[in-house]
């Protein structure tokens, strides 16, 4: 039964959360969830190459390039040619992009709060810890 399969449940939950997150961010901030994820990476890794962004997100470079163009056009990110290679572009978060991240996190936390309201604080912490462990395991397998 699929409702007992952990992999299926995680995939289904993440698909629904991503779709809902995309919708609420588009409605309230005019950015998609993919753009939000790029902004988060730019916050933790300033000057990242588009190829690296694509690898970390599991997307094509063309897709990431389109998203970055939208972010740059919106003033949320900037791009510079790499000093190592004129073919490489390094992408940076702007001050406006930082504000959008903060607002996005607030919107998403408020939007998804009812999903987790049925869990106690202890259960929420346990879930967070378990997901962090699974995330670490997946990241290690990818490298």
Residues 94-128: tens digit of each pLDDT: 999 999 999 999 999 999 999 899 999 999 999 99
For 134-141, what is the mean pLDDT?
Answer: 84
Fold classified for 2-142: Arc Repressor Mutant, subunit A (1.10.10)
Distance CA 53, CA 51 (A): 5
Helix (H) or strand (E) holding 90: strand 89-93
Distance CA 22, CA 17 (A): 8
Q: Is the pLDDT of residue 143 over 70?
A: no
Residues 39-98: tens digit of each pLDDT: 999 999 999 988 899 998 989 999 999 999 999 999 999 998 878 887 888 899 999 999
């Amino acid at each position: 039964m699929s409702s007992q399969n952990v992999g299926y449940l995680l995939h289904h939950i993440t698909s629904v959360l991503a779709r809902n997150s995309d919708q609420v961010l588009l409605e309230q901030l005019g950015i998609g969830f993919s753009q939000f994820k790029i902004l988060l990476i730019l916050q933790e890794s300033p000057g990242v190459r588009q190829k690296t962004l694509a690898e970390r997100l599991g997307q094509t470079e063309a897709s990431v390039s389109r998203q970055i163009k939208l972010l740059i056009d919106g003033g949320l990110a900037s791009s510079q040619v790499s000093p190592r290679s004129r073919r490489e572009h390094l992408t940076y978060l702007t001050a406006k992009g930082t504000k959008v991240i903060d607002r996005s996190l607030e919107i998403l936390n408020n939007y998804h709060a009812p999903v987790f309201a049925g869990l106690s604080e202890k259960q929420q912490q346990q879930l967070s810890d378990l997901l962090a462990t699974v995330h670490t395991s997946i990241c290690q397998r990818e490298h």
